[in-house]
Amino acid sequence: MALLEVRGLCKRFGGLQAVQDVSFGVEPGTVKALIGPNGAGKTTLFNLVSGVTAPDAGQVLLRGQAIQGRPPHEVAALGLSRTFQQIRLFPGMSALENVMVGAHVRGRAGFLAGLLRLPSTWREERALEARARRALELVELGHLAAAEATSLSYGQQRGVELARALASDPALLLLDEPAAGLNVRETDELARLIGRIRARGVTVLLVEHDMSLVMQVSDEVAVLCFGQKIADAAPQAVQRDPEVVRVYLGEDEC
């Protein structure tokens, strides 16, 4: 069974059909890329899958369970986590504290227990901190745990975001343009990191414009254009697909 399956997803904004009847699956343990020109509907699709936006029609199935229209925190608790196209770190907090916000998704002690500083909360807080540290180490930023997150370099801030998404120990990780703004060396490191994440059994759905990264890390590539899926196959097959080539060379409309 696919870990994630979307069926007939549709989303309209006023007169614009941002996502139109899109279906695809992501097999467990694989990396799937979602590519397409600016405005193709990639981020909108991520928002539909992660519960940020409710679809007009269609289904999102996680391990066969319908989750469309559920709020983001419920979707996150089911094992789906994501990063955002624009970095969203909390200023005035350390890298570690920012990552702990992600680890909290899995915490059981409630808000009230937290306020009362019950022993159960304290123990849980320590466990969350340990998990957040492991996530920071995985992205090779363990040595910067105490640094203020927004004082880090752009590439490091992207790493903290990724660690935050990993800290909840997700089954499925959605990355929205993780290489945006990274230099060549940082992009190479990101490719290796995605490989390590995959090797840990985390399934990845990746939106990315950097084609060499996409070709390097993906098992499958789906292509969106004006809200519609126009290809979905192995990377080499997608690269040779005449319609995909047309879209990317801008010779024609899809």
Ligand X SMILES: Nc1ncnc2c1ncn2[C@@H]1O[C@H](COP(=O)(O)OP(=O)(O)OP(=O)(O)O)[C@@H](O)[C@H]1O
Looking at 25, 39, 72, 155, which residue binds ligand X (CB under 6 A)?
A: 39
Q: Please, which of residues 95-154 interact with ligand X by CB under 6 A? A: none
Examine residue 13 and tell whether it contacts ligand X (CB under 6 A). Answer: yes
d(CA 103, CA 107): 7
Nearest to ligand X of 31, 225 (CB atom)? 225
Nearest to ligand X of 181, 195 (CB atom)? 181
d(CA 18, CA 57): 12
Q: β-strands 228-233, 57-62: how paired? A: unpaired
CA distances from 73 to 60, 63, 215, 251 (A): 16, 17, 32, 42
Examine residue 38 and tell whether it contacts ligand X (CB under 6 A). Answer: yes
Examine residue 178 and tell whether it contacts ligand X (CB under 6 A). Answer: no
Q: Residue 38 binds which entry of Mg ion, ligand X, none, with Cβ cut-offs from 5 to 8 Å by kind?
A: ligand X
Nearest to Mg ion of 43, 81 (CB atom)? 43
Of 23-31, 42-50, 134-142, 146-154, the segment contacting ligand X by CB under 6 A is 42-50
* b/e per residue 183-220 (b: at least 16 CB within 10 A): eeebbebbbebbeebbeeebbbbbbbebeebbebbbbb
> Do the Cβ atoms of 41 and 249 come closer than 8 Å?
no
Nearest to Mg ion of 38, 65 (CB atom)? 38
Non-local (6+) Cβ contacts of 81 within 8 A are 102, 105, 165, 166, 168, 170, 172, 173, 174
Of 41-49, 69-77, 228-236, 242-250, the segment contacting ligand X by CB under 6 A is 41-49
Of 32-40, 66-74, 92-100, 116-124, the segment contacting ligand X by CB under 6 A is 32-40
d(CA 15, CA 12): 7
- Residue closest to Mg ion when measured from CB atoms: 43
Examine residue 17 and tell whether it contacts ligand X (CB under 6 A). Answer: no
Examine residue 205 and tell whether it contacts ligand X (CB under 6 A). Answer: no
Examine residue 43 and tell whether it contacts Mg ion (CB under 5 A). Answer: yes
In this structure, which amino acid lies at residue 191?
A
d(CA 68, CA 84): 19
Return the closest-CA partner of residue 96 out of 142, 153, 36: 142
CA distances from 85 to 46, 162, 222 (A): 10, 11, 18
* Token pair belonging to 227: 């809200």
Of 33-41, 64-72, 76-84, 147-155, the segment contacting ligand X by CB under 6 A is 33-41
Q: Please, which of residues 70-129 interact with Mg ion by CB under 5 A? A: 85
Nearest to ligand X of 43, 157 (CB atom)? 43
Give the footprint of ligand X on this chain (CB under 6 A).
13, 16, 18, 36, 38-44, 85
Give the footprint of Mg ion on this chain (CB under 5 A).
42-43, 85
